[in-house]
Amino acid sequence: MSKQIVVIGAGIGGLAAAIRLAAAGHSVTVFEALPRAGGKAGIAEHDGVTFDTGPTLLTMPEVFDDLFRAAGTSLAEQVRLVDPLPAFRYLWPDGAAVDLHRTPEASVAAVSAALGSRAGAEFERYLAYTKGIWEAANGTFVAGYAPTLGRLLRMGPATLAKFTKIDPMRSMKRAVDSFVSEPHLRDICLRFATYNGSDPRVAPATLNCIGWVELGLGGWGIDGGLYALVSALEATAKRLGVAFVYGQAVGKISKTGGRADGVVLQSGEAASADAVVVNADAAHLYRALLPDGTRPGQLLAPSTSGMTVVLRAEAQVKRAPHTVLFPSDYGHEFADMFDRGQAPEEPTLYLCAQSHAHGRSGWATAEPVFAMANAPAEPLDGETGAEGWVAFEARMLKRGIDAGLLSAGDAVVWRRSPRELAATFPDTRGALYGAASNDRFAAFRRPANSAPQLDGLFLASGSAHPGGGLPLCALSGRRAAVEAAAYLEQK
């Protein structure tokens, strides 16, 4: 029988859960505090040009193809993927430059050409190592139920053997150092910790699989921008009958006994439900949305945040689709963020030229360029307030100008500091990826998709299992929908 589901939030996880539950025949209503879908995968407009303000690369497109196929369509029918050439350009102040590509063979050849044959051989061994982690982790620890030590022990010897292959007992940096001696190549490998908002010096080596997801499985652009994927998901959900209510924030989840039975909007209006799916940060669920008298769960430390701007940049400057400009000492960036709790003095600068990466239209003589530098979640120690973020933005953009990647006349047409990100997404402190994975047991402490606080309450977001990033948020929505459907069948 059809049941009534309320989804709190129209981010990627909420959209994925809504589509799957609606495709299974349930009646789904999504309440979103913002005026449009997408969550952190947003858009903005300036002087007639629309641009992305969030994620800039699509990995694991098969996750979204599977989602669309559950609704009777496919990823290829909904969006057109763009193969950026090169995929990423990595630059350093000493003049070193490496272009990486969408296939590992091409990337190994490029590393050999730029950094020498020894570095190419090291990179090839590193990629084989990361592939092994991914193949051991994907089915059991990523796409499956949230891992717990008890569930791991019950899975038997074969699963325990896989657990050893994911290299959970040493740090990400220690593992990288064991494969890579070339310093520029080491920077590239350590950067994948930032995709999770974590510190490679203490995060488990398991996170090295992120390198394989991008470098081995490949990353794509989407014709017209990443928001085209959000629009396609929203349209698919509506075709299945999902109702969207925008500009309506949920104030509380209501309960009967120990069961979630609906939500109360901040306006005071109530909506009943047989199950509630939360597509919001677990911190917001625990601190604001749980009904009175419900014990919250334990939270991990937040991931890093980021200073993000979009520039109206001179189109004649030759840019790769994606560019990373490292500092002279990459280790100082992690020490600044995680040891000293401050924005990096010499930040790594990431640029996405959206016209090249996604075929987005620009202005007559300029193109939209997304720029980002990693920073700690709020609050900062020693550099608090809006003035601190203004100074940090100036530092990051100066690095781009000094390197010839940006021009002094480029105008910032959109910006969002960690403080503004925190204000838009309550209780996140501006964390981009939910919780950081800064200890070897973080995966076991990440909130599961079935919330233990209340029956009928489910989590589908980057702060829940399996983690942050576009495909993992979609997988979180899938797991929440699977577990919600099983719960509803038992009601």
Q: Over the stretch 449-487, which tens digit does the pLDDT of each residue have?
A: 999 999 999 999 999 999 999 999 999 999 999 999 999
161 pLDDT more than 90: no
pLDDT of residue 178: 98
CB 200 within 8 A of CB 471: no
Average pLDDT, the chain: 94
Distances 123 to 89, 108, 131, 182, 219 between C-alpha atoms, Å: 16, 6, 12, 9, 18
What pLDDT sits at residue 149? 63
Mean pLDDT, residues 133-158 taken together:
76
The alpha carbon torsion through 141, 147, 151, 153 (nearest 10 deg) reads: 70
Residue 383 scores a pLDDT above 50 = no
> Could you give the angle at which helices 183-190 and 172-179 cross, rounded to 10 degrees?
150
pLDDT of residue 445: 86
Q: How many degrees, rounded to 5, is the angle at CA 360 between CA 355 and CA 362?
A: 75
Name the band, by pLDDT with cuts 50, 70 and 90, for residue 160. low
Give the mean pLDDT of 382-391. 74
What pLDDT shows up at residue 384?
55
For position 120, what pLDDT does the model report? Answer: 98
pLDDT of residue 287: 94
Summarize the confidence of residues 82-90 as an average pLDDT. 93
pLDDT value at residue 71: 98
User: What is the signed CA dihedral for 219, 221, 222, 225, rounded to 10 degrees?
Assistant: 130
Contact indicator for 473, 432 with CB cutoff of 8 Å: no
Mind listing the domains of the chain with CATH numbers? 4-41+227-301+446-490 (3.50.50.60), 103-217 (no CATH)
The mean per-residue pLDDT over the stretch 61-76 comes to 98
Residues 16-55 pLDDT 10s: 999 999 999 999 999 999 999 999 999 999 999 999 999 9
**Tell me, what's the pLDDT at 147?**
74
Q: Give the pLDDT score at 157.
A: 67
According to the model, what pLDDT value does residue 382 have? 45
Q: What is the pLDDT of residue 65?
A: 98
- pLDDT score of 316: 78
Long-range interactions of 293-299: CB distance < 8 A, separation 24+: 294/255, 294/453, 294/454, 295/453, 296/453, 297/447, 297/451, 297/452, 297/453, 298/445, 299/435
| Single pTM value for the model | 0.95
Burial of 247 (C-beta count, 10 Å sphere; 0-12/13-18/19+): exposed
Read off the amino acid at residue 163: F
Q: How confident is the model at residue 409 (pLDDT cuts 50, 70, 90)?
A: very high
pLDDT at 379: 76
Taking residue 92's Cβ as centre, other Cβ atoms within 10 Å add up to 18
In whole angstroms, give the CA distance from residue 170 to residue 330: 20
Decide which of 84 and 321 is more confident: 321
Sheet strands side by side (includes 219-222)? 58-59, 219-222, 81-82
Q: pLDDT at residue 59 above 50?
A: yes
Angle at 193 between CA 187 and CA 199, to 5 degrees: 95
Q: Are 478 and 68 in contact (CB under 8 A)?
A: no
Q: Is the pLDDT of residue 222 over 50?
A: yes
